[in-house]
Amino acid sequence: MPEVRDQLGALGVVEKDSPFPFPIKRVYFLYDVPSNAVRGSHAHKMLHQLIVAVSGSFEVELDDGRTKTKFLLSSPNAGLTVPPGYWRTLKDFSAGSTALIFASEEYDPSDYIRDYDQFIAWANS
């Protein structure tokens, strides 16, 4: 994430579609998530996302149907791009953490795969 830093601190910058590899059509955030809660646990067929920990930290696990990879997000100047076709799970939220999500599409329930077995079948087809 672009930032401007000086003796007074840091300023994170988002302008138009920069630094995104997709146009932004939706922005939302998760906060006050209990440390033992699990969020996400779904995949998207078409949606691209960029996930940023604007405060605190949390883990994002991505699963493409064959391989699972874990990422720790803990800084507002670094984000994780999630292309379509990945099962994503967010967990291990620290106290006071906030996840900011930039999405390429508006909310569309038909783009979600919410059942893991259906996701595996879809991913392997």
Residues 6+ apart with CB under 8 A from 70: 59, 60, 61, 62
| Pairing, β 79-82 against β 3-6 | unpaired
pLDDT tens per residue, range 74-102:
999 889 999 999 999 999 999 999 999 99
Domain 21-123 has CATH 2.60.120.10: yes
Residue 48 annotated among the catalytic residues of the structure: no
Alpha carbon distance 123, 125 (integer Å) = 6
Catalytic residue, chosen from 14, 30, 41, 42, is 42
- What does the pLDDT read at residue 7? 86
Percentage with pLDDT > 90 across the chain: 77
With bands split at pLDDT 50, 70 and 90, how would you rate the model's confidence at 19? low
Domain spans of the chain, in order of start: 21-123
